[in-house]
Amino acid sequence: MDSDNAVPVNGVCEIALEQSDLAAAEEFYAGVLGFPVVERWADETVWVMAADRTRIGLWRPQIGLGGGRGGVHVHYAMGLPAGAYEAVVDRLRKRGYTVLDHDHSRYGHGRGRAAYVTDPGGHVVEFWTWDVGEHLRELAAGESPGSR
C-alpha cells in the first residue's frame, strides 16, 4: 500500500461493545479501570474515554448503526506504558478479575507484555506494552511485514 495515498487517520477513535449488563460494564470500565464517563444516551449507552483519543461505547445489544448486525466483539487491545503494567495487572486481580499475563518475548519478536481480561460483556480486553507504530517504522526501514 502506498502510504502517500492512505486515508489520513490518527488512530481508532471509537469502539462500541455490546453489554447485556450495562451497570456491570460501567463498573468495570469506569470503576475498575478508571475511565471517565463522558456521555450517556438514556439507559441504552454509556460512553467512557480511554486516554485522550479513544472513546468506548457500552451498548445494550441491538441492531447497530447503519443496519450493522451488532454481535459479540471478540478482542481489542489498548496501549499501556511498560512502567504501568504491573500496577494494572495488580489492580484487576485485586478487583477479582482473572488476568492472563503474557510475555510476547516468547514469540512476536519481543513485542512487549500483554495482560488479557474479560469484561462483563464477554469481550477480551488486552493491555499491551508494545507500540504498534513499530510496524510503520519497520516498513519505512524497508523490512517486509512479518520479517522480524
| Per-residue pLDDT of the chain in tens (148 residues, 90 and over written 9) | 456 777 667 777 888 888 989 999 999 999 999 999 999 988 889 999 999 889 999 988 876 555 565 665 568 889 999 899 999 999 999 999 999 988 766 555 567 888 889 999 888 898 988 888 887 787 788 887 654 4
Domain-located, residue 49: yes
Q: Which domain holds residue 54?
A: 9-63+70-140
Q: What is the pLDDT of residue 25?
A: 96
Domain-located, residue 19: yes
Domain-located, residue 44: yes
List the CATH number of the domain containing 110.
3.10.180.10
Domain-located, residue 96: yes
50: CB partners within 8 A, 6+ apart = 33, 35, 56, 78
Alpha-carbon span 138 to 140, nearest angstrom: 5
What is the separation of C-alpha 95 from the centre of its chain, rounded to a whole number of angstroms?
A: 19
Domain-located, residue 103: yes
Q: How many domains does the chain have?
A: 1
Q: How many CB atoms lie within 10 A of CB 120?
A: 20
Retrieve residue 35's grid coordinates. 475511565
Domain-located, residue 135: yes
Predicted structure pTM score = 0.78
CA angle (113 as vertex; 107, 115 as ends), nearest 5? 115
Q: What is the pLDDT of residue 84?
A: 92
